[in-house]
Each structure stands twice: as structure tokens, then as C-alpha cells.
Chain A
Amino acid sequence: MSNLVAYPVLLCFGTGILQLLLHKRVVLQRALALLSSMAGIVLSVLLTYTIWTSGIQVQTAGGWPVPFGITLTADLFSGLMMILAAVVLFTSVLYIFKDMDAASERTFFYPVLFFMMAGVNLSFATGDIFNLYVAFEVMLISSYFLMALGSKGPQLREGLKYLLLNTVASSIFLVAVALLYGVTSSLNMADIAAKAAMDPGNPYITLAGMLFMVVFAAKGALFPFYWWLPRSYYYVPNGIAPLFASMLTKVGVYGLIRVFTLIFVHDSGLTHSLLLVIGGLTMLLGVIGAISQYDFKAILSYHIISQIGYMIMGLGLYTVLGLAGAVYYIAHHIIVKSGLFLLSGATSRITGNTDFKHYSGLLASHPGLAFTFFATAISLAGVPPFSGFFAKFALLKAAVEKGAWGIAAVSLVVSFFTLFSMIKIFRKAYWGRPSGQRIQRDRKDYIAALSPAVILLALSVAMGLGGGYMMEFALATADQLMNPAIYIEAVMGR
């Protein structure tokens, strides 16, 4: 029993409430945001360290016994996700200070931001399937608020599609929970998993699993449910786009990995093979979308989809190495994607635009920006020695070891197209004759806008050069995921 599990969630909730009370004092809200995001890093690292040394951490809300009350449960995977959430929140907050228009900042921006992060952290911390639904709701409504904040016509239009399609997914979530509860008579995930293991391969449970696959695939923007993502993320304000792009869809991925390693594991011939196909199509169609675009932010938005395919590839392979690759990839992706969106923002702060039609040739005047982008971009494409290479290689090796040739080939082809589209951004935005407008700002401002991305790039490099440590952690995480008995034992066996 440890309260540590709840702290990252409660920290965000508490920060949000305090900021709501101080809604007229933007400076105080900013200070709180900064302090809280730093404290979040410390708490999540502490939590993960505790899990590393003394196993899965469990806490029951209100002290009601398992499985009757709501259980919070954090294994290494949850802990890692919370660390990543805290890190990108921190870098986003740094950037938001520079790049959020004042009117929006005054309109409950910070409280809702932290409510959203509370939802995100709760998704990682909860061990209760209905509570997960609640966490998703908190996240969804807050994200919609942030998306629509200070909005113009197209932003509202795309935001509405986002809201509606996600609400449909939420309704299916509810239906799925109802079915699962009907069949197992429980909402506690460990309890459900234990019951599913008693009757392995029960078709009702598999059927419920399919509904959950739909739900999390829709939340995580997988084929054929990703329709809401490309345009809506394109219109998300630059300040919070990094957080959206890197974190929100990954909550869906987290949900998918959680239930398909804990509960729905007894019919993997059907479910996980299907996931492999979905993963392959997702990465392929995502990257095809990306190479069809001629806009910095639009390319990046499509790439989110493509990369989620890789994570699902690891889950679909359903081996320790495959899941370790997926975990490594998620960590890499969250850091790098966040960095790329920050760079897109920092670039459009100079050019006032993200469409390549309107500018080019920034390399000569802004080499720091250009090379931070270049390094981050080739990390995304999986060029060594950055983090992306080891993550992708772990997945490739897992596929080869399993003899999954199709997905192995697709992953290599997608890597190629990824590099092509990253090079396209680099060529169009940074190479060539300087053209387009340049918004004049002082040097301090430029450095402040660039530094969050540099921090993230440094993390990507560290995750690549320290690949051995990352891989050790990822393998330990995958080991926990592949052995649901550990999770069940931690929750139920007390």
C-alpha cells in the first residue's frame, strides 16, 4: 500500500483547482504551473523508482477493499508513462509561456490544462476499467476546451469533429464496459483478468475485447478510426500542440496495451494478429498521408498516426522483445514528437506560417533551429544513434524472430517514407533561398522558444546513447506486461 500512486494525479487536480481559484492572477497561475510540472517529474520518477525496487504499487480509493472499490495500480509501464507525461508537460509549459496569446491565457487555460493532465495521469494510474472511462472523459472534455480556446472558424469546425468522433468512441467504451461487467461481474481490471484466466478463450470475453479494441483504437487514432486526428491537430494552437500530439493519443495506446496484455490475452491468435494487421495499415496509411502534405504541421500530424502503428506492431507481435520495443518506441515517440511540434511552433513564430509555400531558407539565419530540427527529425526516422533507431530495431528484430515478415517489411518501408517526409520539411523550410516574411524578435526570445525542443532532443540523444539502460527498463516493463499474473497477484493477493 502506497499513496505514491495517487500523487501525480492529485498533484494535477490540486494544481488545477488552485489555478481556478486564482483565475484572475495569470502570473501566479504560471508560477504554479511551472512548480507543479517540475514536482510532477520528481513524483513520477519517485513512483517509478519505487516500482522498480519493490514491485507494482497498489492503492485503493477510500480504502474500500479490492475488488469492490476503485483500485489505483501502477506497474513499470504506468510509471514510465507518468514520467513521460510530466516531462512533456514541463517542456510544453516552458514553451507556452512564450507562445500563448494573452487573452487565451486568461481564459482558464492553466486550470483546464492541469485537469487534462489529471485525466492523463489517472488513465495511467487506475486499475479500474470504469474509472479509466472517467479518466478518458476528463481528458476529452479538457482537450476540447483547449482546442477550441481562442479559436477561429476552421479550428472550431475541426474541433467539433474531434469532439463528436471521440464522443462516439466514449459511448462504445460505455457499451464495452457494460458487456464486460455483465460477463465478469467486476470492474476491477485485475479481478477481470483473473476471471478471464479461469475460462481462457471464452468467446464473450473475446467479443468484449473487440469492443475495447475499437474504443482504444479510436482514442489512439488507429486505422480505421483515425479520421479525427490530422485536421484537428493541425489547428490546435502551437503552444499546446506538442502536448496533444505526443501525449493524448498515447493514452489510447496505453489502454490498448493494458487490456490486451492483462485481460484479453487468451485468444491472441485472433486479437493480436488483428492488431498486427491494424498496426501495419495504420503506419502505412499514416505515412502516405504525411508524404502527401506540404505543410510543416500537417506532415507532423499525419506522422502521429504512422508512428502509433509501430507501437501497435509491438503489441501485435506479443513477445517480450516486441512489447519492449513498443515501450521503447512510445518513450521515444513522446519525446521526439513533442520536440518536433515545438520546433514547428518555433519556426512559425519566425515565419508566421507553417505552409511551405510561404517561406524557405531559414538555415542561414537560424542554424540552431534548423539543426535541432534536423537531428530530431532523423531520430524520428530511426537513424542511429538516436533513440528512434533502437526502438525501431527492437521491433524489427522481434518481428524477424517471430517470422512476421509482412510487418517487418512494412516497418522498413515506412521508415523510408518517414525519412523522405522529414527531409522534405528540412529542404523546404530550412534549405533554399531565404524567402517569405520574418517576424523580428530579439535573440533572447528566440532562444527561449527553442530551448524546450533542445531539452527534448538531448533526452532523445541520451535515450539513444544510453540505449542499454533504456532497453533494460523496457525489457523489465515488457516482462511485467507479458506476465499478467504478477499484476493480478499484486492487486488481488493482498
Chain B
Amino acid sequence: MEQALGAVALPLVAAFLMPVLYRWLRWRLGLAALAVAAATFILVILTPNMSLVIPWVSQLGIDLSIHVDGWSRLFALLIAGIGTLVVLYSIPYLGSREDLGKFYAYLLIFMGAMLGVVYAGNVMLLYVFWELTSISSFLLIGFWNTRDDAQYGALKAILITFGGGLAMLGGLAILGTVGGTFELSGLLANRTELLAQPLTTVALVLLLIGAFTKSAQFPFHIWLPDAMAAPTPVSAYLHSATMVKAGLFLIGRLWPIFHVHPLWVPVVATVGMVTMVVGSFLAIQKTDLKAVLALSTVSQLGLIMWLFGLATPEAAQAGTFHLLNHSTFKALLFMVVGIVDHQTGTREIPLLSGLRRAMPVSAALAMVGAASMAGVPLLNGFLSKEMFLTAVNNSSMGLAGAVVATGASLFTTLYCLMLGHKIWFGEPGETPDEPKEGSRTILVPPLILAVIIVAVGVFPALAESAVVGPAVAAVLQAPAELPHIALWHGFTPALLMTALALGGGLLAYTALPGVLAACRRVTPQRYHLNALYDFLWWKNQAVEKAAKWITNRQMTGYLRDYLVYTLGATALLFFGTMLVKGVRIPALNLSPVGPWEFLLAAIIAVGAVFTARARTRLAAIASISLVGMPLSVLFGLLRAPDLALTQVVVESVTVVLFLLVFPHLRQITLYPRRRSTNVNVLVALAVGALGTVVTLLANGARLFPPQVAEWFLRNSMELGGGNNVVNVILVDFRGFDTMGEITVLTVAGLAVYMLIRLRKQQAGGGKS
């Protein structure tokens, strides 16, 4: 168990040391990263099959649960193994001028996170690491962030993968709620009950969206080609060999639970098939070597997805084996393309030809990789490709599937020829830099991969017993009779399909310009997914513009609008509730209203109307007094002399203050009468009605005896030592409130002082 924890923790912890070590080690930092990666690889090899749960956020069902089986081992070996080779490759590739501290930090974070994904035995823990791989991928794609294409690719990648991740999170939340646990083993044990629940279908669709975005399946594949803005070691590692396979990893984990679900075959197999066709079709049209590789990755991922979607054990076996093989030959091809780019200064296919003379070793390596991808015998790609064709042929898709598979393979052959033949043969062309063979160190990692490709191709039984077999068993979770992987199965339909794909590809290659022109004619040039993405998020920024439109509609900047919204909403809520709840104003036992009261009320009303309609400030102030002064008289009439007194004082002080600041104020700006004025009147009336209703209710709807008030009356003299209950309440029973109010006054006073001083400063040209 220490090995598994160590394998995840070591790169994660080491990552944070990289920027620090960079200060001392400078260009030698790559060696330190290499040591970390190699140590991780050894830990991965030493990790046995195991399960372990360490409590973490158990209340939410999220625990540090480690589960290592054949399926995780296959991935872990790829992650740590190819990771080590990529770090080795990156040392000569990047040189010493790049910001290596950041680069290796990101790369090691990715390595640890990815190992976390494959070792997680709890789907939520898997998600935690899953998002971490998206983040590190974002940082790596944006490594050269002063370039526009890097920013574009990084943003696109994170939007699509994080968006898919959120869908997956929703699916996991449902799955955990329905299944009662996030532990893989628990979910697996409950699978029959799970599948009986209708909600599970929603969960499955959301989880699949997560897997499809991560593994660049149609229609989410558009981020992967732009992720090629990353340095080539990153493309080789994250965007072909490992991270993009996380979606497939998840599919493999879901397989035993969901492969019998009625949606599984139609959705997963169809998406995989479409992705394979679209990917290979687009790949041949690209002229940038890395773009060709990216789209071929899309296509190959689609192939593997298709296999897992077929839901048969033999297809799962084929998918697992091809996944391993793809990682080897695709990483190799990326490395070689990186060398070409490095040595010639360009990746444009039309500019490159006849490189085999200057770069014989690279040429040989590229040919091994391309041939394996095309499915040429004696290489590992041939074996898994054959198994793929057999599985499709034997599946429910039957002949139609076989035809599509052969057609897509034909395109595959075509782009493999471009990668393995076109740029190496013919007359040498003009390139920005004089081509010469890459250094020995940079050639070692692809060489190792080429050896693996040939070894697996010739001795498939070794790979089967060591990695593929246990992985398939972990996916199936049930015993199955599977054919052994062998070099020769006799004359099968699959062999015929392979021959057709290779032969047809060769034939098309001889007429390449014509084929390409024909393909371009049927490819949509204006309306496609990338255009949609650019419209929404990049070139037209439609999303941001729409957001701006919505925001500007409400955030007008005018206080009067805000007041209308605020008070209108208040009135709406209040009266709406009254309506819904059927609130009635209870009968009130009120004292009679005399003529004086009517008169005062009328004056107040007139004052209010005049204030609202006043055209000068002086008139407005005068009208306000017309509201305030009668109010104090009213208080007097109602025998509340202290209130009346307070009101008089407040009114007088307000008027005096207004008169003092008068000379400094501008005239009232008059606006032409708008339709909204009517709304304002309505809202004002509603607020007035609200106040009235509350007053009536506060007096009429007493549900409980006034216990507190009576206690105050009883105890005012005895406990508070005063006859005036209000005073005793203010200074004693509720003196704590008064302390707060005094603070308010103090701060208000300070604020006035501060504002006056501010005014002086501004008038005095900034001097205090």
C-alpha cells in the first residue's frame, strides 16, 4: 500500500519543489524531474493489487480510497513509464532558456494527479484528481502564454473539459445518492438495484459526457487539436498517451456496472464510431504535422471508445490492447515530429520532404510508429487492429459496422503514409533551418518505444499475460472465455478488412492531391463546431456580450430605478403573500377620528404631493415641513408630548441643515415625464399601503398577551427607578440598544467631520 500512496504523493510533492530547485539547478532541473519520474515508475511496478480506505470527508462519502487492479495497473504503467520517457525527452527538447521550474512542476502535478485518477477506489476521489489533471493540462497548454494560440488552446481545453467535469459531477452526485455510496466496490455490488432506478439513466448520460469531453469524443473533440499549442513533450504525454485516456479509464470503470444498460451500446458505440470517422477524415486534410497527429489521436480514441461501447468481452479485450498500443506508437510519433520541428523549424507537410537523408534514425522510428498505427503485421498495431475489426464484425452492428471500420481504417492508412512516407522521401525541400539528425539523448526515448512496439508485435503473449489480461479481467469483473492474442489467426474476415484498408490507403496515397481536394469539398468550411466555439467564446465573444446586455438592462446606474426595483419587489412580496395566505386585516377597536386629525392628514397629504412635484429645492424643503410639522402636532394631539418634541426638533434641524448647504447644491434636474413615472407613482402608493397595512396589523393582529410591555410597566419604578417607562426602557432595560445608537451618532458625527475636511482639502488643492 505504501507504494500506491507513494506513487501518487511523490510527484505531487516534488512538483512544489521544482520552482525552488530551479534556482540552484537551472538546466539540470530536468535530471531531478527525471529522477522523480523514474522513482515513481519503480513504485508503480512495485504496487500490488490492493484496496485500502482512509477516511477523509466521510460525511459526504468521499474517502481516500485506493483500489489497484489490472485496469489501474495498465494505466499506471503508461502514466509513469511514458512520463519518464517524456521527461527524458524534454531535457534536450526544451533547452535551458525556458522556464523549467514551472514546466516540471506542472508536469509532475499532472503525473501525480493522473496516478490518483487510476488508483482511486472512490468515484469522488477519482473526480478530485480528474479535475486536477484538467488544471495542469490548462497550465501546460498555456506554457507559452505570450502566444495567442497557446491562450486560445488552453481556454478551449479547460472550458470543454471542466464543463464536462461538471456534468460528470452531477452524474456522480446522482449515482452516489441512488447507489448509497461513492465506493466503486459498493456501486459494483449494488449494480442490479442501481440499474432498476430510472435516475441512473440521467447519471449515466452525465457521466458519459464527462468521459467524452476528456477523451475528445465527437462533438467535444475540438479542443484536442488546439491543445497542440503546448510544447511537444506535453502533447506526447498528456494529449495522446495518458490524459485523454482518462475518459476511457472511466468508461472501463463504468463498464461492469453499465454495459447492460439499454443506452450503453447505442450511445457509446455510436459516439466512438462517429469520432473515429470524423477524426480520421479531418486528419488527412491537415498540413501541420501535430494537427494530423492530434486528429489521428481523436480518431484512435474513438476507435477504442467504439470497442468498449460494443459491450462484448472480446471487444473490451481488443479495446484494452489497442489502448496500450496506441500510447506507445502515438507517443513515439509525437516525439519524432517534435524532433523534426526542432531540427527543421517547421511542421508544415508541404515544406517537408526527403528528410530521410539528413535524419535517417528519425525516419526509421517514424516509419515504425506509422506502420504500427496503420496496422502493418509484426507490429503491435496490427494485432489490436485485427482484433478491432473482428470485434466490430462479430458485433450487433454487423456488416454496416465492418464497412465503416474499414473505411475509417483506410483514412488511417492514408495519414500514416503522410507521417511515415511523405515527409521522409522524395527530393529534399527548403526548410527554415538546415535539417540534421537530432542529438542522441533526444532519440533514446522514441527508440525505447519502437523496441516496445516491435516486441509486443512479435511476442504478444508477453504483453497479454503481464498487463492486458489482468486489465481486461478487471473491466469484465466476470470470467470470460477470451481468445489469446496471436500473430496469425488464419484467413479471417478481419484479415481481408485489413488488406482492404492498407491496399485502399496505398491506392489513395498515389492520387493524394485529388483525394484531398475531394475531401475538402465535402468538409463544411463555414458552419462547423469550431466556428460555433469561436462565435461563443473567442472571436465574437457572444457569451460575454449577451451577459453584458442582460446586466446593462438591470444595472442602469440610476438610483431611482434601483429604488423602484427594491420597493416594488418588496410590495410585490408583501401583498402577494397576503393574497396567497388570505391575510385579512382584523377588526380594530380604534378611537374615533376627529376633525382635527382629518385636517392634519389632509395637510400632510398635500405636503407629500407638493414635495414630489416641487421644481426647486426651496419649494421641496418647504413642502417637507408641511409633512413633518403637522405630524408633530398629531403626536401632541395623541398625548405623546415627548414624541412631538422629538419630531419638532428633527424637523427644525433638517430645515436648518438644508438651508446651510443650499448654496452648494445644484438645481434639481428636471426630466421629461416618462412612462416609468406611472410605475413610480404605483410603487410609491404600494409602499404607502404597505406601511398602513403593517400599522393596522401590528395593532389588530396581536396573537399573544403583551407580557413584555406589562412587565416593563410593572417594574419601571421598582427596578428601574423611573416613572417614565420609555426613559427607563431606553437607558436601563434596553440600554444596550442605546449604546449602539450612540455609536451610530458618534460615527455619523465623525463622518460629517471627515466629509467637511475632505471638502476643504479638495478646495485647498490637496493640502490639509
- Interface residues of chain A, those whose CB is within 8 Å of chain B, are 13, 20, 61-62, 64, 67-70, 103, 107-108, 111-112, 115, 118-119, 122, 130-131, 134-135, 137-138, 141-142, 144-145, 148-151, 160-161, 164-165, 168-169, 172, 175, 178-179, 181-187, 195, 199, 202-204, 206-207, 210-211, 213-214, 218, 224-225, 227-228, 230-231, 267, 270, 285, 288-289, 291-292, 324, 361, 363-364, 367, 378, 383-385, 389-390, 393-394, 396-397, 400-401, 408-409, 412-413, 415-416, 419-420, 423, 427, 431-433, 467-468, 471-472, 475
Cβ 8 A contact of B151, one of A288, A419, A432: A432
Q: Which residues of A contact B581 (CB under 8 A)?
A: 203, 206-207, 267, 270
Cα(A213)–Cα(B573), bound, Å: 9
On whether A141 and B744 interact (CB within 8 A), knowing A203-B582, A207-B577, the answer reads: yes
A181 touches B563 (CB 8 A): no
Q: Kindly list 10 other residue pairs between chains A and B, CB separation below 8 angstroms, not including A64-B733, A185-B707, A204-B703.
A: A131-B737, A179-B697, A185-B705, A185-B709, A207-B574, A285-B554, A383-B135, A400-B170, A413-B166, A431-B146
Of the listed stretches B55-63, B88-96, B247-255, B264-272, chain A binds B55-63
Specify which of B166, B712, B748 is in contact with A68 (CB 8 Å cutoff).
B712
| Contact partners of B551 in chain A: CB under 8 A | 285, 288-289, 292
**A175 to chain B: which residues have CB within 8 Å?**
690-691, 694
Q: Does B754 contact A (CB under 8 A)?
A: yes
* Interface segment out of the listed B75-83, B311-319, B542-550, B640-648: B542-550
Chain B: which residue is nearest A67 at the CB level? B708
* Among A165, A270, A384: residue with most chain B CB under 10 A: A384
Is the CB of B638 closer than 8 A to any CB of chain A? no
Quote the shortest CB–CB distance from A295 to chain B (angstroms). 13
* CB-CB under 8 A for A288 and B547, given A67-B708, A230-B555: yes
Q: Is the CB of B758 within 8 A of A138?
A: no
B583 CB within 8 Å of chain A: yes
Q: Is the CB of B740 within 8 A of A227?
A: no
State whether B158 touches A168 (Cβ < 8 A): no
What does the 1/0 interface line of B558-577 toward A look like (CB < 8 Å)? Answer: 01011101110110011001
Residues of chain B contacted by A20 (CB below 8 angstroms): 746
Contact (Cβ within 8 A) A367 B747: no
In the bound complex, residues from chain B placing their C-beta under 8 Å from that of A148 are 751, 754-755, 758
Instruction: Show the binding face of B for A, using Cβ within 8 Å.
Output: 19, 55-60, 62, 99, 102, 124, 127-128, 131-132, 135, 138, 142, 145-146, 151, 155, 158-159, 162-163, 166-167, 169-170, 173-174, 176-177, 543-544, 547-548, 550-552, 554-555, 557, 559, 561-563, 565-567, 569-570, 573-574, 577-578, 580-583, 690-691, 694-695, 697-699, 701-709, 711-712, 715, 732-737, 740-741, 743-744, 746-748, 750-751, 753-755, 757-758, 761, 768
Q: Give CA–CA (A20, B746) in the complex, Å.
A: 10
Known: A141-B748, A182-B699, A423-B158. A168 touches B128 (CB 8 A): no
- A413 (CB) vs chain B CBs: closest residue: B166
Say how far B722's CB is from chain A's closest CB, in angstroms.
14
Contacts of A397 in B (CB 8 A): 60, 173, 176-177
CB atoms of B566 and A165 under 8 A apart: yes
Indicate which residue in A324, A427, A467 contacts B56 across the interface (CB closer than 8 Å): A467
Contact status A419-B173, CB under 8 Å = no
Q: Which residues of A contact B755 (CB under 8 A)?
A: 148
- With CB as the reference atom, state the residue of chain A lying closest to B750: A108
Does B757 contact A107, Cβ atoms closer than 8 Å?
yes
When distances are taken between beta carbons in the complex, the residues of chain B under 8 Å from A151 are 758
Cβ-defined partner of A137 (8 Å) among B138, B694, B740 = B740
Residue of A whose beta carbon sits closest to that of B568? A224
Question: Which B residues are in CB contact (< 8 Å) with A227?
Answer: 554-555, 561-562, 565-566
Docked complex Cα distance between A207 and B570 (Å) = 12
Contacts of A13 in B (CB 8 A): 743
CB-defined contacts of B715 to chain A, threshold 8 Å: 68
State the majority secondary structure of interface residues on B: helix
B704, A68: Cβ atoms under 8 Å? no
Query: B170 and A412: CB pair below 8 A?
Result: yes
Q: Report yes or no: B704 in contact with A195, Cβ–Cβ below 8 A.
A: yes
Bound complex: CA A389 to CA B128 (Å): 9
Are A228 and B562 touching (Cβ within 8 A)?
Answer: yes
In the bound complex, what is the Cα–Cα distance between A111 and B754 (angstroms)?
13
What's the nearest-Cβ distance from chain A to residue B728, in Å? 11
List 20 contacting pairs A-B, 8 Å CB cutoff, sorted by A: A61-B736, A67-B708, A115-B747, A137-B741, A145-B747, A145-B751, A185-B708, A186-B708, A228-B562, A285-B550, A288-B551, A292-B550, A364-B99, A383-B131, A383-B135, A385-B128, A393-B124, A416-B159, A416-B162, A432-B145
Q: Decide: A168 near B566, CB < 8 A? Known: A207-B697, A416-B162.
A: yes
The smallest beta-carbon distance between A87 and chain B, in angstroms, is: 22
Residue on B nearest A286 in the bound complex, by CB = B551
Pairwise interchain contact A202-B708, C-beta atoms closer than 8 A: no
Report chain A residues within 8 Å CB of B565: 224-225, 227
Report which of A211, A385, A408, A419 forms a contact with B574, defined as CB distance below 8 A.
A211
**Chain A contacts for B554, CB-based, 8 A:** 227, 285
- The complex places the Cα of A156 from the Cα of B694 at a distance, in Å, of 34
Residue in A161, A187, A396 whose beta carbon sits within 8 Å of that of B708 in the complex: A187
Whether A467 contacts B547 by the Cβ 8 Å rule is: no
Q: Which one, A111, A161, A211, A384, contacts B127 given CB within 8 A?
A: A384
Select which of A69, A115, A224, A408 is within 8 A of B743 by beta carbon: A115
Chain B residues lying within 8 Å of A367, measured Cβ to Cβ, are: 19, 102
Determine if A165 and B563 form an interchain contact, defined as CB atoms under 8 angstroms apart: yes
- Shortest Cβ distance from A302 into B: residue: B551
**Residues of chain B within 8 A of A107, CB atoms compared:** 754, 757
Contacts of B544 in A (CB 8 A): 291-292
Give the docked Cα–Cα distance between A431 and B550 (Å).
Answer: 28
- Measured between beta carbons, the chain B residues less than 8 angstroms from A135 are 740
Q: How far is the CA of A184 from the CA of B703 in the complex (A)?
A: 6
Q: How far is the CA of A324 from the CA of B60 in the complex (A)?
A: 11
Which 3 interchain pairs have the tightest Cβ spacing?
A182-B698, A134-B740, A227-B562
Most buried by B among A67, A118, A183, A472: A183
From A112, A292, A361, A467, B548 is in contact (CB under 8 Å) with A292
Interface centre among B62, B99, B135, B565 (most CB of A within 10 A): B62
In the complex, A217 Cα to B739 Cα: how many Å? 26
Tell whether, in the assembled complex, residue B751 and residue A144 are in contact, meaning their CB atoms are under 8 Å apart.
yes
